[in-house]
């Protein structure tokens, strides 16, 4: 078949940081099985497939190395960056509109995710837990401070046994200009640790917005690659802001 993919580092202004996503702009979606094996071959957190519509908008689907997912922030940002910054994507999670902002940032209009307070599962195997909540797909766990999040080395088998798509560990920010820090682990969808996760910040924006009474926040994802995400709450939506850098093109021959 042959396929050209652009690899874009999202939620960063530097190459080889943030979260890489592969983006394929195609005339029509290939067979689901082909898209899944391409995502497995790319072996990134997400591979995005983008199909233009006659009205100028696009259809968008996201695949991890193992499954198709309903919502992905960094691969949406990577897709918008590939298209020039301005885009409207029709997805499983509704229409997601992307708009260029200041200094090369792109803002994305996403659904807010209101976590429901819950008891921390006893099998999580982490000390210093301050609170927990469940969003649409992910379990959120607050730790006592940012240092605990940064040094975290969780047992991925325990996290997978919790049954959620992913587990978000978070704490209040530990430096000026950062409202919260987080790390995200999603072994159940083939992602041991996600470097920078837009969809998690739909949850974090609500969680920390309620805690701080702030409508605008900045989150740092404290993975090895790192990522910076702006959040702005607007009713039942969250405007996520990020930067992106295209780093390579991959041409598949089959």
Residues involved in catalysis? 46
SS (H, E, C) the chain: CCEEEEEEEECCCCCCCCEEEEEEECCCCCCHHHHHHHHHHHCCCEEEEEEECCCCCEEEEEECCCCEECCCHHHHHHHHHHCCCCEEEEECCEEEEEEECHHHCEEEEEECCCCEECCCCHHHCCCCEEEEEECCCEEEEEECCHHHHHCCCCCHHHHHHCCCCEEEEEEECCCCCCCEEEEEEEHHHCEEEECCCHHHHHHHHHHHHHHHCCCEEEEEECCCCCEEEEEEEECCEEEEEECEEEEEEEEECC
């Amino acid at each position: 078949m042959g396929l050209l993919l652009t690899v874009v580092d999202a939620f960063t202004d530097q190459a080889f940081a943030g979260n890489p996503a592969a983006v394929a702009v195609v005339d029509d979606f290939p067979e689901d099985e082909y898209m899944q094996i391409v995502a497995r071959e790319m072996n990134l957190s997400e591979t995005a497939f983008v199909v233009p519509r006659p009205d100028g908008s696009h259809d968008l689907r996201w695949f991890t190395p193992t499954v198709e997912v309903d919502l992905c922030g960094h691969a949406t940002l990577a897709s918008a960056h590939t298209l020039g910054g301005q885009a409207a994507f029709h997805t499983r999670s509704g229409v997601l509109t992307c708009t260029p902002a200041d200094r090369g940032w792109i803002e994305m209009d996403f659904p807010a995710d209101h976590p429901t307070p819950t008891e921390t599962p006893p099998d999580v195997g982490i000390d210093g837990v301050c609170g927990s909540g469940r969003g649409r797909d992910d379990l959120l766990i607050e730790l006592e401070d940012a240092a605990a999040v940064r040094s975290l080395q969780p047992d991925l088998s325990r996290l997978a046994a919790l049954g959620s798509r992913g587990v978000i560990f978070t704490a209040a920010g530990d430096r000026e200009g950062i409202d919260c820090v987080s790390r995200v682990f999603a072994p159940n969808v083939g992602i041991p640790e996600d470097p920078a996760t837009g969809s998690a910040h739909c949850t974090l924006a609500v969680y920390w917005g309620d805690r701080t009474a702030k409508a605008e926040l900045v989150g740092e994802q404290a993975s090895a690659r790192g990522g910076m995400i702006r959040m702005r709450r607007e009713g039942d939506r969250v405007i996520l802001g990020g930067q992106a850098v295209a780093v390579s093109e991959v041409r598949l021959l089959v």
